[in-house]
Structure 1
Amino acid sequence: MSDAIKTLPLVLEQPRGRAKPPRHLADLSPEERKEQAEKLGLPAFRLKQVSHHYFARLQRDPEAMTDLPAAQRDAIAEALLPTLLTPVRTQEADKGTTRKTLWRLFDGALVESVLMRYSERATLCVSSQAGCGMACPFCATGQGGLQRNMSTAEIIDQVVDGAAAMANGLVAGGPGRLSNIVFMGMGEPMANYKAVIGSIRRMVATDPDGLGMSARNITVSTVGLVPRMQQLATEGIPVTLALSLHAPDDELRNELVPINTRYSVHETVEAAWDYARITKRRVSIEYAMMRDINDQAWRADLLGDVLNGFGDWGWVHVNLIPLNEIPGAK
Structure 2
Amino acid sequence: MRTTARGSNVGSDRGRLHGVVLALGIAALVHAAPAMAGSWHHGLCLGNGDLWRGRVPIDVRNDTSHEVKGRPVGVRVGRGSLQADLVGVHVEALRVCDDTGLELLYNVIGPTGEEVHAGPIAEGSQLVMPADCPAGGTVRYWAYFDNPSAWGVPDWLPATLGVRNGGFEVGDGTEPLGWRSDTMDALHRVAWVDEDPRSGRRCMRTMVDRGAPSTWVATRQAELTITGGARYVMRAWVKARDVEGYAGWYIHVGNEKNFMLIAPMLSGGAGTYAWKEVVAEFTAPVEADRAGLGTVLFGTGTAWFDDISLECLDPARLSAKAGPREALQVTQLGA
Q: Hey, which of these two has a bigger chunk of strand by percent?
A: 2
Fold in common (TM above 0.5): no
Q: Hey, which of these two has a bigger chunk of helix by percent?
A: 1
TM-score by length of 1: 0.30
TM-score by length of 2: 0.29
Structure showing greater Rg: 2
